[in-house]
Amino acid sequence: MLEFDGLHKSFGEVRVLEGVGFTVAPGSMFGFCGSNGAGKTTTMRIAMGLVRSDAGEVRWQGRPMDQASRRRVGYMPEERGLYPKMKVGEQVAYFARLHGLDAVAATKASEDWVERLGLGPRRDEQVEKLSLGNQQRVQLAAALVSRPEVLILDEPFSGLDPVGVDSLADALLGQVREGVPVVFSSHQLDLVERLCDSVGILARGRMVATGTVEELRRRGAGRLLRVVVPDAAPGWADGLGGARVVSEQAGDTLLELSPDTDDQSVLGAALRTGRVTHFAWQQPTLVELFREAVATPSTEEVAA
Amino acid sequence: MTAPKNLSSAQLVRLVAGREVATRIRDKGFIISSVVILLVIVAAVVIQVLTGSGDEESRVGLVGGDASLVTALEAQGEALDVDVEVVELDDEAAARTAVDDEDVDGALLAGDDELLVRESAGGTLEAIVQGAVGQLAVAQQLSDAGIGELDVPEVGVTALDADAAADGQRVVAAIFGVVILYSLLILFGQFIAQGVVEEKSSRVVELLLATMRPWQLLAGKILGLGVLALGQIVAIGVVAVVAALAFDVVEVPGDLISTVAIVIAWFVLGYAWYAAVFAVAASLVSRQEDLATVLMPTSMVLVVAFFIGIQAASDPGGLLARVTSYIPGLSPLVMPVRQAAGEVALWEVALAVVLMVLAIVLVVRLGGRIYSGALLRTGGKIKMREALAAERA
């Protein structure tokens, strides 16, 4: 387990993290969301030992992370960084060596990854001569080359074209299949929704929501039911007990049901008006959940 | 695939140093500057050969006079360390032409006891001619007076300061050394500073610091470039000694070699200090354009040290040279000159070395903290105080 536990951090007067904690199981992908300045980068930097936390710790396999265990982490910083004048192959090999591979193994691993990420013909070119997309791949190669036990990636998808996004997603899913816990932060919530087993939303230095996408949906969904009845007269649902009409437009009706209302009774009422072309609990998208979580202080926060 | 191992500090430092060396020795700028410095050394030795060495020469025209005058002129020349070449001329007209054409340095009209020169006779020329003519006249008058053979006692010469010549050569070697020291310190200081800023501006430093501590990175960079710098100064020393011996510029090779060794030893201390200071200063900025500003104060210290070092060569025992040869940062460029001049006690050298080593320890410890605090902060120029505060955070 990769555990982030009760992280606190202030920079001067500014309190950036106020008790951030979440857990990532081996072989699962954790999407770390939050608005700009919410503290995602600081959280990841604490894990990498680049920032010292005021309180709390990050543990891997039950032990607090130290320099040795961090060497087993593949890290991609938000601000991409490579030596601009170093050749692709040598650079990847250098990072492999910094992560503890010996010279022979590092060269071989570098060749493998450079090849696997489609950079084979670019191996002997200086990084600064590469396109941005290819530089991103070198960055990824540098993070993966040492066969890390953990991946911590800060905004790995930013700046990638759709093809690049797909190949990075494949690479990450491949790591997850091998049992590596992957944490990445992203603003692209559709990607998070698609790739991640669990999601954490960070706002104002706290985790305002964590869980699987499904759990978050159930929690955030409330009792919103969308019914489309093209033949119904306007106001068809006004008389239904336990259901409030949120919106209604040409039969496309959004209802909020009170907790004890049976959705089947609503379906019965709908059928009585004629055809029912759509009847389903409204699944809030992660974007909607995110907006809601970030916008309103949660009850825990108010209590705290 | 072999399993990744945990790395010791020494291994990490060596990896960083290895990358620095590998990157530099393939850098055209580095190769060119190294070759240029070596060529300059050889050129300097050759110029030394062409201008300075060997005895003075003088061509003297002679109208009239006999063989005894020629012998006397040559003997006088020998006494004054001048190779005198006597050119027999027909008459005064020919003598005037020869002097005008600068065919000869001067022409002696033996009959008139008159010396023709173009503008003014050099001190030596006049002395040679005067001596020769006077000697002959005395001999003539003695012989006229009936005194033939005169028993003149030969003066025995005992040199009380036989080392003076060797000292002079050592000082010249030390000045050479100071110039080389200064050039290499500036050059490698720049390399270090540029390397630090490159890592900051390309942000690769964040990736590096995820695997190592800032001091390991700093130590690796300083050691890596230090190996190159040491290699370069040793190469320069060897080339200089070989060239000096080959062209027969020096008389006492042992002294030259010891001076070169002293310069190299002081280079090691000076490099450690300046490299650390340059690296720490460079860590305060994120762009190469801002580098000159933060390096300025240290560069100024180096320039001052250079001029004091040169000045010390002419006055190695002076107050300025004595005081500055203890001051860390200045001592690497002043003490070698004083040591070469041979006017320094062992305890003085020891004191200067101890102070310098203390200064290095201080810079590495305090500077290392500034470096740690400043590395991950980008943007404008960071104040040292902020960097120290950030390191504790």
Q: What value does the mean pLDDT take over residues A270-291?
A: 82
Chain A: give the shortest CA distance to residue B364, in Å.
20
**Cross-chain residue pair B15–A108, CB shorter than 8 Å:** no
Torsion over CA: A103, A104, A106, A111 (sign): positive
Question: Do A117 and A248 belong to one domain?
Answer: no
Residue contacts between A and B (CB atoms, under 8 Å): 84
Residue B188 CB coordination number (10 Å):
25
Question: Do A59 and A106 belong to one domain?
Answer: yes
Question: Do A210 and A68 belong to one domain?
Answer: yes
Tokens 């690796």, residue located: B220
Question: Angle CA(A42)–CA(A46)–CA(A47) in degrees, nearest 5?
Answer: 120
Considering only CB atoms, B212 lies closest to which of A72, A82, A98, namely A98
Which strands sit side by side in the sheet containing A150-153, from one edge to the other?
A: A73-76, A150-153, A182-185, A29-34, A198-203, A206-211
**Cross-chain residue pair A52–B202, CB shorter than 8 Å:** no
| Euclidean distance between the first and the last CA atom of chain B, given in angstroms as a whole number | 39
Rounded CA separation A150/A179 (Å): 9
DSSP assigned state of A76: E
Question: Do B321 and B388 belong to one domain?
Answer: yes
Amino acid making up residue A172: L
What does B181-231 look like in DSSP terms, one character per residue?
Answer: HHHHHHHHHHHHHHHHHHHHHTTHHHHHHTTS-HHHHHHHHHHHHHHHHHH
Question: Do A65 and A158 belong to one domain?
Answer: yes
Which strands sit side by side in the sheet containing A224-228, from one edge to the other?
A: A243-249, A252-257, A224-228, A278-281
Question: Do B176 and B129 belong to one domain?
Answer: no
Domain membership of residue B48 (yes or no) is no
Domain membership of residue B192 (yes or no) is yes
User: Which residues of chain A lie closer than 8 angstroms to B214, CB-CB?
Assistant: none
In contact, B17 and B224? CB cutoff 8 Å: yes
Tokens 């070119």, residue located: A125
Question: Do B380 and B266 belong to one domain?
Answer: yes
Give the CATH number of the domain where residue A187 resides.
3.40.50.300
Best mutation target, B202, B203, B286, to test chain A (most A CBs within 10 A): B202
Domain assignment of residue B125, given as a range:
57-144
Tokens 């964040």, residue located: B206
- How many residues are there in chain A? 304
Question: Do B132 and B205 belong to one domain?
Answer: no
* A157 reaches B (C-beta below 8 A): no
Q: Which B positions 9-38 lie with beta carbon below 8 A of chain A?
A: 12, 15, 19, 23
Task: Give the helix ranges, DSSP H, for B101-163.
Answer: 123-144
Rounded CA separation B51/B202 (Å): 51
pLDDT in tens, A163-177: 888 888 999 999 999
Question: Do B172 and B220 belong to one domain?
Answer: yes
Please state, for a pLDDT cut of 70, what percent of chain A lies above it. 95
Domain membership of residue B52 (yes or no) is no
Amino acid making up residue A194: R
Q: Which of B340, B300, B347, B311 is nearest to B326 (CA)?
A: B347
pLDDT value of residue B271: 93
Rounded CA separation B273/B328 (Å): 9
User: Binning pLDDT at 50, 70 and 90, where does residue A179 land?
Assistant: very high
Question: Do B195 and B325 belong to one domain?
Answer: yes
Torsion over CA: B283, B285, B287, B291 (sign): negative
User: Binning pLDDT at 50, 70 and 90, where does residue A303 land?
Assistant: very low
Question: Do A13 and A143 belong to one domain?
Answer: yes
Lowest mean pLDDT among A100-104, A298-302, B229-233: A298-302
Write out chain B's pLDDT in tens, 393 residues.
455 677 888 899 999 999 999 988 888 888 888 888 888 878 877 777 776 545 567 788 888 777 778 888 887 777 777 778 888 888 888 888 888 888 888 888 877 778 888 776 566 777 788 888 887 777 778 878 777 666 666 666 565 555 555 566 667 777 888 888 898 899 899 999 999 999 888 889 889 988 888 888 999 999 999 999 999 889 888 888 888 788 776 666 777 788 888 889 999 999 999 999 999 999 888 888 888 888 999 999 999 999 998 888 878 788 888 889 899 989 999 898 888 877 788 898 999 999 999 999 898 888 888 888 887 776 667 777 777 776 654
Rounded CA separation A237/A249 (Å): 12
User: Which residues of chain B lie closer than 8 angstroms to A147, CB-CB?
Assistant: 1, 4
Domain membership of residue A254 (yes or no) is yes
Question: Do B14 and B95 belong to one domain?
Answer: no
Domain membership of residue B51 (yes or no) is no
Name the token pair of B201: 């501006």
Domain membership of residue A15 (yes or no) is yes
Question: Do B180 and B272 belong to one domain?
Answer: yes
Rounded CA separation B345/B256 (Å): 19
Rounded CA separation A53/B52 (Å): 69
Question: What are the angstrom distances between the C-alpha of B10 and each of B6, B13, B279?
Answer: 12, 5, 20
Residue A169 CB coordination number (10 Å):
17
Name the token pair of A17: 């993290």
pLDDT value of residue B55: 53
pLDDT value of residue A280: 86
Question: Do B95 and B175 belong to one domain?
Answer: no
In contact, A273 and A229? CB cutoff 8 Å: yes
Question: Do B372 and B267 belong to one domain?
Answer: yes
In contact, A269 and A240? CB cutoff 8 Å: yes
Question: Do A147 and A60 belong to one domain?
Answer: yes
pLDDT value of residue A304: 39
Identify how many contiguous H helices and E strands chain B contains and give both numbers.
14, 4
Domain membership of residue A301 (yes or no) is no
* Coil/strand/helix, residue B109: strand
pLDDT value of residue A302: 43
Considering only CB atoms, B204 lies closest to which of A82, A108, A147, namely A82
> Strand A278-281 relative to strand A224-228: parallel, antiparallel, unpaired?
antiparallel
* Tally of domains in chain A: 2
Question: Do A195 and A252 belong to one domain?
Answer: no
Question: Do B35 and B98 belong to one domain?
Answer: no
Question: Do A181 and A170 belong to one domain?
Answer: yes
Tokens 């300045």, residue located: A37
Question: Do A209 and A228 belong to one domain?
Answer: no
Domain membership of residue A291 (yes or no) is no
Domain assignment of residue A188, given as a range:
2-217
Domain membership of residue B264 (yes or no) is yes
Amino acid making up residue B274: Y
pLDDT in tens, A5-26: 989 998 888 888 998 999 999 9
Last residue of a domain, one of A217, A252, A269: A217
Question: What are the angstrom distances between the C-alpha of B106 and each of A115, B77, B102, B132?
Answer: 84, 14, 8, 14
Task: Give the helix ranges, DSSP H, for A222-285.
Answer: 263-273
Domain membership of residue B342 (yes or no) is yes
Rounded CA separation B307/B300 (Å): 11
Name the token pair of A228: 């489309």
Q: What value does the mean pLDDT take over residues A56-85?
A: 90
Question: Do B220 and B361 belong to one domain?
Answer: yes
Give me the half-sphere count of Cα atoms (radius 13 Å) on the Cβ side of residue B121.
17
**Cross-chain residue pair B207–A147, CB shorter than 8 Å:** no
Domain membership of residue B5 (yes or no) is no
User: Which residues of chain B lie closer than 8 angstroms to A142, CB-CB?
Assistant: 207
pLDDT value of residue B1: 46
* A203 reaches B (C-beta below 8 A): no
Domain membership of residue A303 (yes or no) is no
Q: Which of B195, B348, B352, B358 is nearest to B278 (CA)?
A: B195
Last residue of a domain, one of A183, A199, A217: A217
* Tally of domains in chain B: 2
Question: Do A198 and A276 belong to one domain?
Answer: no
Give the CATH number of the domain where residue B112 resides.
3.40.190.10
Name the token pair of A36: 């700009």
Rounded CA separation B180/A55 (Å): 52
Question: Do A97 and A54 belong to one domain?
Answer: yes
What does A141-165 look like in DSSP terms, one character per residue?
Answer: HHHHTT--SEEEESSTTTT--HHHH
In contact, A156 and A168? CB cutoff 8 Å: yes
| Summary mean pLDDT of chain A | 86
**Cross-chain residue pair A51–B393, CB shorter than 8 Å:** yes
Residue A112 CB coordination number (10 Å):
15
φ/ψ (deg, to 5) at A92: -65, -40
pLDDT in tens, A106-164: 999 999 999 988 888 989 999 999 988 888 889 999 999 998 999 999 999 988 888 88
* A71 reaches B (C-beta below 8 A): yes
Q: Which of B108, B96, B155 is nearest to B134 (CA)?
A: B108
* Coil/strand/helix, residue A235: coil
> Strand A252-257 relative to strand A243-249: parallel, antiparallel, unpaired?
antiparallel
Question: Do A178 and A68 belong to one domain?
Answer: yes
Last residue of a domain, one of B144, B173, B200: B144
For residues A157, A160, A161, A166, the Cα torsion angle rounded to the nearest 10 degrees is -40
In contact, B233 and B179? CB cutoff 8 Å: no
Domain membership of residue B4 (yes or no) is no
The enclosing H or E element of A19 equals strand A14-24
pLDDT value of residue A222: 63
Domain membership of residue A296 (yes or no) is no
Which strands sit side by side in the sheet containing A14-24, from one edge to the other?
A: A14-24, A2-11, A55-60, A63-64
Domain membership of residue A290 (yes or no) is no
pLDDT in tens, A188-236: 888 888 899 999 988 888 888 888 877 877 765 567 788 899 888 888 8
DSSP assigned state of A126: B
Rounded CA separation A211/A199 (Å): 6
**Cross-chain residue pair B15–A105, CB shorter than 8 Å:** no
